[in-house]
Amino acid sequence: MTLLLPLSSGQWNPCTYARPFVQPRAVVEGTQDPQTIFDTVLEHCGVKADKNATFLVGERHRYIPNSEGGARHKLGAIENHRVKRVFFLGVDGSTVLLGIQIHPNDTEGYADLRRTVNHVDATDMQLLATCAGLASWHDNGAFCARCGARTQYSAGGWERQCLGCARIEYPRTDPSVIVAIHDDEDRLLVAHNAMWRPHYASLVAGFMEMGEAPEQAVQRETLEEVGLEVDRIEYVASQAWPFPRSLMLGYQARVVDGTSVEPVVDGVELDWARFYSRAEYEQAMRAGEVEAPGPISIARAMVRRWYGGPLPDEQ
Ligand SMILES: [Zn+2]
């Protein structure tokens, strides 16, 4: 089955060449006519635009849905919100896309991007996630990592430039691995992190270390988190997870023949982990003993791939 990856299947033109020339903040604040942004996009990307849409994000992967539950707002409909930053996201057809980070004190009407996704298509989902990641990156990038001076936002929100040494910083992404671990009966391992709500369980995952290959990270994380040795490591799919800045590289792996298939957790980061057959997993979900990963996560997509179709909570 094809993996449904909501945050990796959007389609729009990011118009990267226009970023240095677009002044999205001026358009949002009304000091520049939207026509200027349309002309800039045409000049630098060759795309004729005559409409705009805005995406409103706040802290902690939240966004403000429109009155139909979708993600796009008209520029004129955002005047009740306090704007913190504006991003130029590109063009979808003839529509210029702007991301708006709302001031943290202005929280009315927010929804959680990771849970409420019913009326948002894959393109808008990915654009919202991009906005959320950019917002978080800016919030943590006020000072230069080289000289310590203040930095300022530039290139439509896709750069920060140091006011002291002129160094340019770009949005960062941290690669992580997530692994579907199987035993020789094709059971799947899911684990519970001590910080998660009680029955929520997902796949083993972790950040890659400096100088490490993803396959090595799969072996290291599996051994660290559940005490199992794995081989037959194969790449499955990837998905950005900009909450705040991860790229998830999805792998499957099998427990090494002749080694233990009893997971051993540290009791601190993970408090339980176990292998499930498909029948056991279905039964555990229906009994409320296990909650599957969230709807837009690659973890859910990988669990579905193993399960062979929609999970019991989607049926
Ligand atoms: Zn500097």
Sequential pLDDT tens for the chain (315 residues): 568 898 999 999 999 999 999 988 888 888 988 999 999 999 999 999 999 999 999 888 889 999 888 999 998 878 788 899 999 999 999 999 999 999 887 777 888 888 766 678 999 999 999 999 999 999 999 999 999 999 999 999 999 999 999 999 999 999 999 999 999 999 999 999 999 999 999 999 999 999 999 999 999 999 999 999 999 999 999 999 999 999 999 999 999 999 999 999 988 889 999 999 999 999 999 999 999 999 899 999 999 999 999 999 987
Tally the domains of the chain.
3
Instruction: Indicate if 86 and 206 belong to the same structural domain.
Output: no
The Å distance, Cα 142 to ligand 1 centre, comes to 11
**Ligand 1 midpoint to CA 171 (Å):** 16
Per-residue model confidence (pLDDT) at position 25: 87
Residue type, 65: P
CA 14 / ligand 1 centre spacing (Å): 28
Q: Helices in the chain by DSSP H: which ranges?
A: 24-28, 34-45, 122-139, 214-226, 278-286, 298-307
For residues 182 and 75, membership in a common domain is answered with no
- Residues having C-beta closer than 5 Å to ion ligand 1: 144, 146-147, 149, 162, 164-165, 167
46 domain-assigned? yes
pTM confidence score? 0.92
CA of 208 relative to ligand 1 center, distance in Å: 27
Using the mean position of ligand 1's atoms as its centre, give its distance from the Cα of residue 168 in Å: 8
CATH number at residue 180: 3.90.79.10
Answer whether residue 210 is part of any domain: yes
126 and 191 in a common domain:
no
CA–centroid distance, residue 165 to ligand 1 (Å): 4
Q: Which range marks the domain in which residue 164 is found?
A: 141-172
The confidence score (pLDDT) of residue 119 equals 78
Residue 6 counted as domain residue = no
Q: Dump the DSSP string for 213-280.
A: -HHHHHHHHHHHHH---EEEEEEEEEEEETTTTEEEEEEEEEEPTTS-------SSSEEEEEEE-HHH
